[in-house]
Structure 1
Amino acid sequence: MKQRFIKILSFAVLLSSNFNAQTFNNLFRTKDRPDNLEDFDLQKFSWGFFLAGNNFDYKMVLNPTYGMDGNQSLVESKSTYSFGAGLIGKMRLNEFLDLRIEPGLHFVQRDLTFKTFDHINELYPGGFPLPDGSSTTVITEPTDVDIKKIVKSTYVDIPIMLEIHGDRWYNSRPYAAAGINYLVNLQSNQTSENDNQLNTFRSTTHNFGWSAELGIQFYFNRFKLTPAIRGTFFTNNEIVQDKSTTSPYWTPAISMLQSRAFMFVLKFE
């Protein structure tokens, strides 16, 4: 009985070992594994489109007189999630480098909260003095519209990026990219005659920035799918100051205003 048990156990171990070896070989073998779109990356030019989930925010440098009360910041920015879409154009430079242009449209909303009223009223209880001897209007009971400015932006983003990638591993390939951006804000209100006194927040129309991106390209039978994470950072000051006759509750409190965005991008080529 004991010898029979040992024979059965030995047979089971041998069968299990053979099964595991075959399973391992099927999962990780490379000899018979097909490569999808083998010649796709050898093309000089290729095209596609992308979809993006965005999170835009403002990086601010506040004026120490109007925007700060000691160490307390009197202006706050709240980001919201939004979306974008665009096209992809790629030119192959060599085995490891590609040049990309990806014009896109991004719809953005951010909330700016101004807690400057009590502080500035303490500085200028009779109103901010103007050069002609008059003074601005003092707002003692600000409304929600005065305190919270909803800033809507529509950016036409034109990034030019240099992509460096490694070798393909089965049907995937990692890459990194970086480049410069030219961005046009279609809702900037830069040339508007109104300002924050009439609930119009103004920013620059033409903007510049830089981007960095990481992702993995996956090759399927008919297309290439690329999930990626991108950061875009504006380099210019976007703030357009209120009129000189407007109380300094709003834009004078901000010395520097720059957008920054983090995106999750899905590319189809």
Structure 2
Amino acid sequence: MKQRVIKILSFAVLLGSNLNAQTYNNLFRTKDRMDNLEDFDLKKFSYGFFLAANNFDYKMNLSPVFGMDGSKSLVESKATYSFGAGLIGKMRLNEFMDLRLEPGLHFVQRDLTFNTFDHVNQYAGGTNYNLPFTPITEPGDEMINKIVKSTYIDIPLLLEVHGDRWYNSRPYAAAGINYLVNLQSNQTSMDDNQQNTFRTTTHNFGWSAEIGIQLYFSRFKLTPAIRGTFFTNNELVSDKETTPPYWTPAISTMQTRAFMLVLKFE
């Protein structure tokens, strides 16, 4: 009986040791583990698409005459959330660098508030900065709050620098230049803010910076990333000289800045 108990205990110890070794190998052994899509990044060209959640806002420098009341800003910009989508084209340059072209379409809305009326009315008689005008003492909501809708065709050219692949992931950083066309700019419209039409430039330029991590699955590569895009040109199209200086004369420069959460599929 005693010998039988000893045999059973010995068998249990051996079985437990074997199970522990197998569990350790399955969870932590990496030497012989196969990587997903091992040859994917060796291709000269590859393609994909992306989806983006966006936050677009305006960075504004206000006129000290019409846009500021002492240290108080009279024009405010409210960022809104939007979405975008686009295509990916990648060219492999070497082991650590890729060139990416990622044209996309972004649907954007921003809300501008002009609290300029009481302040600007003191210049109704005309100054070196404006012609005489009839003051508006009771502005309507459409005069104070301007909804600026934009549809951007964004064409960024990015240089990507990535580190070594760590099994099924690889970190990277990218930067580059953008050409952006605003399909809803109203730049050529004959109306301006007096007719409730806010005008911006159609053709724009900017730069982008991005960081992310590439995750390799059995059938595709998923890349979550954060991107910032910053316009370099002044997007503001001035109102007519005969329009009271409640709106665009209150703004010296206006440039888009955008932050995006991007999901790429390749």
TM more than 0.5: yes
Match of 1:75 in 2: 75
Count of residues in correspondence between the two structures = 258
- 1:211-226 aligned at under 5 Å gives the runs 211-226=208-223
Q: Deviations over 1:167-221 (max 9, x none)?
A: 1111111100000000000000001000000000000100000000001111111
Q: Is the 8 A contact 2:131 2:241 kept in 1?
A: no
- 1:81-160 aligned at under 5 Å gives the runs 81-121=81-121, 123-124=122-123, 127-129=124-126, 135-160=132-157
Take 2:20 and 2:79, find their aligned partners in 1: how far apart are those partners? Answer: 51
Match of 1:192 in 2: 189
SS at structure 1 position matched to 2:241: coil
Q: Is the 8 A contact 1:128 1:248 kept in 2?
A: no
Take 1:187 and 1:18, find their aligned partners in 2: how far apart are those partners? Answer: 68
Q: Does 1:36 align with 2:33?
A: no
Q: Deviations over 1:30-67 (max 9, x none)?
A: 12322111111000000000000000000000001100
Give 5+ residue unaligned stretches, structure 1: 1-10
Q: Does 1:167 align with 2:167?
A: no
Q: Is the 8 A contact 1:128 1:247 kept in 2?
A: no
Q: Is the 8 A contact 1:130 1:136 kept in 2?
A: no
Q: Please, which of 180, 183, 187 is the counterpart of residue 183 of structure 1?
A: 180
Cα offset, 1:17, TM superposition:
8.0
Q: Deviations over 1:115-142 (max 9, x none)?
A: 0000111x22xx25389x9732211001
Take 1:74 and 1:96, find their aligned partners in 2: how far apart are those partners? Answer: 48
The amino acid of 2:265's aligned partner reads F
Cα offset, 1:111, TM superposition:
0.2
Specify whether residues 42 and 14 from structure 1 end up closer, same or farther in structure 2 by C-alpha distance, changes over 3 A only.
same
Give 5+ residue unaligned stretches, structure 2: 1-10
SS at structure 2 position matched to 1:26: helix
The CA RMSD over aligned residues, in Å, is 2.3
Specify whether residues 186 and 23 from structure 1 end up closer, same or farther in structure 2 by C-alpha distance, changes over 3 A only.
same
Q: Is the 8 A contact 2:131 2:242 kept in 1?
A: no
Cα offset, 1:25, TM superposition:
3.4
Take 1:108 and 1:120, find their aligned partners in 2: how far apart are those partners? Answer: 30
Match of 2:5 in 1: none
Identity %: 80
Worse-superposed segment, 82-91 or 21-30: 21-30
Q: Is the 8 A contact 2:86 2:102 kept in 1?
A: yes
